[in-house]
């Protein structure tokens, strides 16, 4: 079945640093989504990407839909303590189902 490889698995960074994480797949997707999940909460949508090559920003977050449609990255600039959480990428091909990455745990040292 389809699988997403998300990396890194975890990051422990200094407040103010930039963060980069990515997802790759052996299959193509028509949509890439990035979610953030806080402990005990449901995932919150950060950015949705619908077109190969698309680069979209949401405040300090920037994500890109890879030109091959098999990868996506998420960058967070100037990290702050509230950026702490688990970030998930998700790919969607046509139908309704999402395929999720394993998540990137982000910890920020203030």
Query: Where on the chain is the footprint of other proteins (CB under 8 A)?
Result: 31, 33, 35, 40-45, 48, 88, 96-98, 100-103
Q: Which is nearer to other proteins, 35 or 73 (CB)?
A: 35
* Contacts with 35 (C-beta within 8 Å, 6 or more apart), sequence order: 43, 44, 45, 46, 87, 88, 89, 90
C-alpha–C-alpha distance, residues 23 and 91, integer Å = 9
Residue 35 · residue 85 · CB < 8 Å = no
Other beta carbons within 10 Å of 86: 16
Q: Which is nearer to other proteins, 35 or 65 (CB)?
A: 35
Tell me how far, at minimum, the Cβ of 16 lies from other proteins, in Å: 27
Q: Which is nearer to other proteins, 16 or 97 (CB)?
A: 97
Tell me how far, at minimum, the Cβ of 11 lies from other proteins, in Å: 15
Tell me how far, at minimum, the Cβ of 108 lies from other proteins, in Å: 19
């Amino acid at each position: 079945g389809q699988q997403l490889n998300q990396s890194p698995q975890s990051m422990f960074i200094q407040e103010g640093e930039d963060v980069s994480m990515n997802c790759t797949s052996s299959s193509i997707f028509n949509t890439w989504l990035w979610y953030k999940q806080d402990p005990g909460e449901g995932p919150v949508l950060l950015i949705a990407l619908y077109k190969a090559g698309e680069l979209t920003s949401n405040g300090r977050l920037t994500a890109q839909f890879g030109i091959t449609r098999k990868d996506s990255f998420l960058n967070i600039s100037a990290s702050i303590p509230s950026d702490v959480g688990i970030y998930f990428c998700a790919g969607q091909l046509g139908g309704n189902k999402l395929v999720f990455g394993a998540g990137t745990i982000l910890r920020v040292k203030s």
